[in-house]
Every structure is written in C-alpha cells, then in structure tokens.
Amino acid sequence: MLLRWECMEEFFDPLALARWQFGLTTLYHFIFVPLTIGMALMAAIMQTAWFRTKDLKYLRLTRLFGKIFLINFAMGVVTGIVQEFQFGMNWSEYSRFVGDVFGAPLAIEGLAAFFLEATFIGLWIFGWDKLPRLAHLLCIWMVFFASAMSAYFILAANAFMQNPVGYTMNAERGRAELTSLWEVLSNPVVLAAFPHTILAAIMFAATVMIAVAAWHLRRNQHLETMRTALKAGLWTNVLAFMGVGLSGDQLSLAMVDAQPMKMAAAEGLYETTSAASFSIFTLGTPDGASELFSIRIPHLLSLLSTHTLDGEVEGINNLQAQYVTQFGPGDYSPIIWITYWAFRWMIGLGAFSALISLLMLWLTRKNAPQRSALVQDRLWRVLIWTAPLPMAASLVGWIFTEMGRQPWIVFGLMKTEAAVSPNVAGWQVAVSLAAFTAIYGILAVVEFKLIVKAAQEGPPEITQGDGEDAEPDSLAIVY
C-alpha cells in the first residue's frame, strides 16, 4: 500500500505537472495573441485604406478580417486570465520571491494597456454605426496600439526572468526587490524581444490573410478584394520577416550576454570555441554527446554570437564548471536536444514561410507568364496549407526561450524546482492540467472550424451607402 502510494506520488509530481501545465497553457494562449495583434494591424490598415480611398473593397476586407479577429479575441482574453492566475496558483514561491519586481510590469500592463484594448475592441466591434468614421477608425488603431503595448510589458516581465536587472536582494525578507522600474522596462532583452515578437505576430496574421485570399482565388471568387488581400499579405510577410531576422540577431547578442548557456545549448557547443561554426542539421547519438553527421556553416555561430567571424563562443562544459563555482553543485544546462532543434525549427519555419511569400510575389508579378490551371491550383494550395508556419515558428521560439533558461526560473536567482507552490498537491495539478487540456482541445477544434467557416464565407456584400445610412443599430447586433 505504501509502495503504491509512493508510485502515485511520483506520477503526480507537482513540479513536473505544473511545468507541463504552464507550458501547454502558455503555448495555447500564444496561438491567439499573435493573431489578435497581427489581425488588429491588418484590419486597421484595411480600414484606413477604406477611409482614405472610399473604395468598398477595403471595407469588405476590414469586415471579413474583423470577423475572424472577433472569433479569435475572446479566446485570447479568457486564456490570458489563466496565465495571470497561474503564477499565484502553481508558482506561489516564485510569486513571493519576485512579486515585488515582476508584479509591476504585469500591473502596468493591466492598467495601461489591457483595459485600453478591451474597451476599444468593444467600441470597434459594436460601434460601426454609433461612432463618426474617423473615431471608429481610431478605435481599431487603439486596439493595435494597446495590444502591442500589452505585449511590451509582458515581454519586459519575461525579460526579467531571462536577464534580471533593476533589482536588489532583500536578505531579510528573502526576496528580490525592485530598485529601478526604468531598468526593468529597458532591459536589453525586451528591447530586442519586443520587435522580434510583434513582427512574428504580424507574419502570422499575414499568412492567415494570404491563405484566405488563396482559398477564394482558387475558386475564382471575390477576385478584386482577394487579389488586394493576397498582395498585402505577401508583402507584409516578407517585410515582417526581414524585421524578425534583424531583431532576432539583436536578441541573440543580448542572450549571449545574459545567458551564454542558452546560446551554447542552441548549438550544442560543448567546448569553448573561436571561429565557431553553426550546424544546420546534425545526426548524433540521442544524448547529443557525439555526432555522426552534420551540415555546418563555418564561422556562423561566432558571427551570430559576437558579430565577428572569429569571436569566442563559450561552451556548455566551460559554463557548467563556471556556474558550479558560482552557484554550487548542480546541473546548469538545459535539455540540449530541445534547445538545439527548437532554435533551428524556429528559424527554418519562419524563413520558409517568408521564402514562399517572396516566391509568390515573383510569380504573381505583373505580366507573369500564364501558368497551367493545375500548377496554379497547386500554388494556391501551398499558400493555404503553409499559413500556420509563422505560428509554429513562434511557438518553438518560445519553447527555445523558456526551455533554454532551465534549470532557472529567474536566471541566476531562483531555480524552477524551488518556485512551485508547496501546498498544492500533485493530484490537484493533475486535475487542472487534465481540465485545461480537455477544454482547450475542444475549443481549439470549435475555434478552428468557426474561423475557417468565416473565412470561407468571404467578404460581405456591401453596396454603396452601407455603413453610412445603414439601418440604425443593425450593425451593432453582433451576438
């Protein structure tokens, strides 16, 4: 009996379950966040185009992507509450330890950004015929602005976990305390992570827009509006990817500075090396300790880490030895195969998506040679099925960022294992993990079907005069 109980205890390990729960709910939340941010921008640009040109095709597109935005945003809100509550529910020791520092950006996010976003979303969705056109247009811009600001504060909070700054240790109370809010908000990690994340979010919204356009163009319908949407989406995706790359480069530098172990783990570089090469692909033993085959680009890792061809990149073994003297005995490296592959998939998926868009821009250029119907059909299908690539890249990017920080929850200050709530039993976390997994799973299916349905219905027919003297209130009935 005792033995069985111990087995159960091990199975219901609160730490492991809480980590799985945080990982799953965060990744799930982050499917909706980028779509909210990116779609708000797309809708804002379309509505601005309509406002300026009075061309109804832009209004139709605004309405269509506004509808997709609406289906998506409720999920973003409700899954976001889970994120905030989870710090206290599952990570109470973490909350006690860093609440003084970490709570500040979260509270600012709520007070300054989240309220703004929630209010103006309501005004935009329900206010079509209730507000003057310019005021209504400003509402969607406000939504984008607020959601981007919201992202900034959350990323600043996360940046503190990667690179703690602006704090002091209070030994008496055993916690970190804020000494400079400015330093926390201007953490070099957040300065690079913010454009990186926002532009990746815009890529995702762009590929969704491309996919919707491709679906209709493949069926030869809504040609005028959808050609516009396609062009806008393709250009946005390519341009945003360039920004993602540049900011990613800055983020690498900040990361090498703050968390050299993460960069070493991204390459699986065990020994400190000058003029380090970067492997695109490696076949090795499962533990990553020895390699059988790899494709390598010389000097690239040094270039990424130091912006010089022959710069020195610290290796996992050297850093491990250094951390043992600094923090005491323990294993200070993350799970190498996860960081190694997550880093590559992040870059690869994002780049592949941008490449497809670039190719399509060339293929759909003016006076492009006529293609056979079959080839054209295939091209549309490629665009439809590659829509999730930027989202997948963002998700593995987060897996890299967070797994690469392990075993720390706050780098150098607190280990993840010390952060979990001691008074929440394993079975309770198992119950919540099961509940979230089940509900999130079902909702994902419903959500996906509804978005696909809305996208396939296409832009609404709008005749001249609608939106100006449409039947009073009819546009305000949304539910």
Partner 1 sequence: MDIEQIWFALVAFFFIGYFVLDGFDFGVGMALPLLGRDDTDRRVMINTIGPVWDLNETWVIVAGAVLFAAFPEWYASLFSGFYLPLLLILLALILRGVSFEYRHQRKHPEWAARFDLMIIIGSFLPAFLWGVAFANIVRGVPMDADHQVSISLFGLLNPYGLLGGATMVLLCLVHGMIFIALKTEGEIRVRARSMVLRFMVPTIAVAATFLLWTVAMHVEVAHLGWIIALAGLAASSLVAAGLFSLGGREGFAFFAMALSIASAVATLFVSLFPNVMPSTTTPEGTLTIINASSSEYTLGVMLWVALITTPLVIGYQAWTYWVFRRRLGRDHILAATH
Q: Which residues contact 71 (CB under 8 A, 6 or more apart)?
A: 447, 450, 451, 454
Q: Which is nearer to partner 1, 87 or 241 (CB)?
A: 87
| Cβ pair 280, 297 in contact under 8 A | yes
Position among 71, 155, 205, 349 found at the interface with partner 1 (CB under 8 A)? 71
Give SS3 for 311.
Answer: coil
Phi, psi of 271 (to 5 degrees): -110, 145
Position among 27, 70, 239, 361 found at the interface with partner 1 (CB under 8 A)? 70
Site for partner 1 in 181-210 (CB under 8 A): 181
Query: Judged by CB under 8 A, which stretch of 26-34, 96-104, 239-247, 401-409 contacts partner 1?
Result: 96-104
| Cβ pair 424, 12 in contact under 8 A | no
Instruction: Tell me the residue type at 234.
Output: L
Min CB(24)–partner 1 separation in Å: 14
Q: Is 253 in the site for partner 1 (CB under 8 A)?
A: no
How many residues belong to the site for partner 1 (CB under 8 A)?
A: 78
| Cβ pair 240, 206 in contact under 8 A | yes
Position among 17, 35, 56, 82 found at the interface with partner 1 (CB under 8 A)? 82
Q: Is 456 in the site for partner 1 (CB under 8 A)?
A: no
- Give the Å distances, CA to CA, from 437 to 20, 360, 428, 440: 10, 37, 14, 5
Q: Is 106 in the site for partner 1 (CB under 8 A)?
A: yes
Position among 13, 16, 93, 296 found at the interface with partner 1 (CB under 8 A)? 93
Site for partner 1 in 117-156 (CB under 8 A): 118-123, 125-127, 130-131
Q: Is 88 in the site for partner 1 (CB under 8 A)?
A: yes
Sign of the torsion formed by the C-alpha atoms of 422, 424, 426 and 429: negative
Min CB(469)–partner 1 separation in Å: 14
- Give the Å distances, CA to CA, from 247 to 193, 194, 340: 7, 8, 20
Q: Which is nearer to partner 1, 169 or 297 (CB)?
A: 169
Min CB(110)–partner 1 separation in Å: 4
Q: Which is nearer to partner 1, 73 or 145 (CB)?
A: 73
Min CB(70)–partner 1 separation in Å: 7
Query: Judged by CB under 8 A, which stretch of 113-121, 206-214, 238-246, 318-326 contacts partner 1?
Result: 113-121
Position among 11, 439, 441, 460 found at the interface with partner 1 (CB under 8 A)? 439
Q: Which is nearer to partner 1, 130 or 307 (CB)?
A: 130
Instruction: Tell me the residue type at 355.
Output: L
| Cβ pair 429, 18 in contact under 8 A | yes
Position among 9, 10, 291, 473 found at the interface with partner 1 (CB under 8 A)? 473
Instruction: Tell me the residue type at 9.
Output: E
Q: How far is CA 85 from the centre of its chain?
A: 20
Closest C-alpha to 150, from 87, 205, 73: 73
Phi, psi of 273 (to 5 degrees): -140, 140
Query: Which residues face 175 on adjacent strands?
Result: 170
Position among 95, 247, 259, 416 found at the interface with partner 1 (CB under 8 A)? 95
Query: Judged by CB under 8 A, which stretch of 55-63, 178-186, 270-278, 398-406 contacts partner 1?
Result: 178-186
| Cβ pair 350, 200 in contact under 8 A | yes
Query: Judged by CB under 8 A, which stretch of 71-79, 313-321, 357-365, 389-397 contacts partner 1?
Result: 71-79
Tokens representing 99 are: 């609440």
Position among 39, 42, 49, 104 found at the interface with partner 1 (CB under 8 A)? 104
Position among 26, 47, 62, 79 found at the interface with partner 1 (CB under 8 A)? 79
Position among 179, 306, 318, 320 found at the interface with partner 1 (CB under 8 A)? 179
Tokens representing 112 are: 């300054």
Q: Is 16 in the site for partner 1 (CB under 8 A)?
A: no
Min CB(218)–partner 1 separation in Å: 24
Cα 329 to Cα 352: distance, rounded to the nearest angstrom: 42
Site for partner 1 in 289-308 (CB under 8 A): none
Cα 181 to Cα 470: distance, rounded to the nearest angstrom: 49
Position among 286, 422, 465, 468 found at the interface with partner 1 (CB under 8 A)? 422
Q: Which is nearer to partner 1, 375 or 446 (CB)?
A: 446
Tokens representing 98 are: 């860093």
Give SS3 for 422.
Answer: coil
Give SS3 for 470.
Answer: coil
